């Protein structure tokens, strides 16, 4: 591979054309991400997504390393596409109208020409039918919909590009007596968002000692989401999981429940605290989040870069969400 780059990030739209290359990005293979739009409105959306990705990838670079501006050819002619092992992703940001013949041909050519690991990711406005914008068979591509700020899609784009891994993996740590309902809700919402989630409903399997099961699951998942319920300090299991996460330098985030203590091992910036009005009773003294509030909590998890994580570790999102920064 060419030692002068590890990742190439490009933007091509009516509003702006730009290209940056990164040489010192940890934990990824050669990667090419090209964001393209052909309408002025979608071009502005594409530029916002590009800026978030630029900040996210910069967070992956080794300390002191800076990206280099690249003035070379873009799109199909980019140097990255001449690297056989490169994973090349075309992000096509569309409007609500049918795409042009030129963009249609680009999307087709992207997957038919080298490198072999080439893919296309359409990004469409919310509520738009893919078949109304993308001609067959392009309407069969798995895409993303802009249901809020387009910047929130950055982790999904990086995931599609295979930056640091192909999936999200999370371990939900909680005390059963007062957080079981919330833990189940968070588990389900994370799963719907594409995470692989471990929720320890039984606290170990018969015949397997706690440390072995815990270590295996934590090491595999890489991101620990701690539910700070009122009784969390009295749970030796949860405290042990937090300790393991710190020892292994894994990502460590908190979801704060009303009346729950804030664990000192987790910095305030790595904690999501829903407001009082976002909670509803789950019966028997338990609490759950309103659906919209649960989605917001999962968005926090998807977009956060825990300050507790190792810069060289294999954390789920810090590799796969791709370590997108919390507040770029």
At 2-52, the pLDDT tens digits run 557 889 999 999 989 999 988 876 557 789 999 999 999 999 999 999 998
Residue 219 pLDDT exceeds 70:
no
Domain span(s) for CATH 3.40.50.10140 in the chain: 168-319
In the chain, % of residues over pLDDT 70: 80
Please check whether residue 166 is in contact with residue 29, taking contact to mean a CB–CB distance below 8 angstroms: no
The whole-number pLDDT of residue 189 equals 87
Would the pLDDT of 323 be above 70?
A: no
CA separation for the pair 67, 7 (Å, rounded)? 9
> For position 3, what pLDDT does the model report?
53
Residue 134 has pLDDT above 60, yes or no: yes
Q: Are 288 and 306 in contact (CB under 8 A)?
A: no
Q: Could you tell me which residue, 168 or 123, shows the higher pLDDT?
A: 123
- Each residue's pLDDT tens digit, 248-272: 777 899 999 999 999 999 999 999 9
Domain 168-319 has CATH 3.40.50.10140: yes
CA 123, CA 282: separation in Å to the nearest integer? 36
Higher pLDDT pick, 310 / 63: 63
Distance of CA 107 to the CA centre of its chain: 24
- Cα–Cα nearest to 248, from 182, 318, 302, 184: 318
- Mean pLDDT of the region 229-234: 94
Report the Cα 113 to chain-centroid distance in Å: 28
H/E segment holding residue 10: strand 7-12
Backbone angles phi, psi at 241, to 5 degrees: -65, -40
Region 165-169 average pLDDT? 56
**Out of 3.40.50, 3.30.1120, 3.40.220, 3.40.1010, which CATH number does the structure's domain 7-160 have?**
3.40.50
Predicted TM-score (pTM) of the model is 0.57
Name, in order, each residue with C-beta under 8 angstroms of 43's C-beta and a sequence gap of 6 or more: 13, 14, 15, 16, 37, 93
- What's the whole-number average pLDDT of the chain? 82
| Helix, strand or coil, per DSSP, at residue 297 | helix
For the record, the structure tokens of 285 come out as 């003294």
Give 308 or 225, the one with higher predicted confidence. Answer: 225
pLDDT above 90: residue 284:
no
d(CA 129, CA 211): 49
Which segments within 28-79 are labelled E, that is strand? 31-36, 68-69
- What are the helix (H) ranges across 222-261? 236-247
């Amino acid at each position: 591979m060419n030692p002068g780059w590890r990742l190439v990030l490009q933007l091509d739209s009516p509003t702006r054309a730009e290209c940056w290359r990164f040489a010192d990005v940890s934990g990824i293979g050669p990667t090419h991400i090209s964001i393209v739009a052909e309408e002025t409105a979608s071009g502005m959306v594409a530029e916002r997504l590009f800026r978030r990705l630029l900040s996210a990838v910069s967070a992956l670079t080794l300390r002191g390393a800076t990206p280099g501006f690249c003035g070379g050819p873009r799109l199909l002619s980019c140097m990255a596409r001449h690297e056989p092992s490169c994973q090349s992703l075309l992000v096509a940001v569309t409007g609500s109208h049918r795409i042009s013949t030129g963009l249609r041909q680009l999307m087709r050519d992207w997957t038919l020409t080298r490198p072999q690991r080439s893919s296309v990711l359409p990004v469409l406005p919310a509520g738009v039918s893919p078949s109304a914008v993308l001609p067959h068979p392009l309407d069969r591509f798995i895409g993303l919909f802009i249901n809020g700020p387009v910047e929130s899609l950055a982790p999904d784009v990086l995931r599609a590009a295979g930056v640091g891994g192909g999936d999200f993996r999370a371990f939900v740590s909680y005390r059963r007596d007062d957080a079981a309902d919330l833990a189940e809700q968070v588990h389900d919402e994370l799963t719907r968002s594409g995470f692989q989630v471990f929720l320890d409903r039984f606290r170990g399997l018969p015949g397997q000692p706690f440390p072995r099961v815990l270590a295996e699951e934590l090491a595999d998942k890489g991101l620990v989401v701690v539910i700070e319920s009122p009784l969390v300090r009295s749970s030796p299991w949860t405290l042990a999981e937090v300790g393991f996460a710190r020892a292994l330098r894994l990502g460590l985030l908190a979801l704060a429940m009303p009346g729950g203590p804030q664990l000192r091992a987790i910095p305030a910036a790595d904690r999501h605290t829903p407001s009082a009005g976002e909670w509803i009773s789950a019966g028997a003294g338990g609490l759950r989040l309103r659906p919209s509030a649960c989605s917001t909590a999962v968005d926090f998890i998807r977009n956060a870069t825990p300050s507790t994580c190792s810069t060289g570790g294999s954390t789920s999102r810090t590799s796969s969400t791709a370590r997108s920064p919390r507040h770029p």
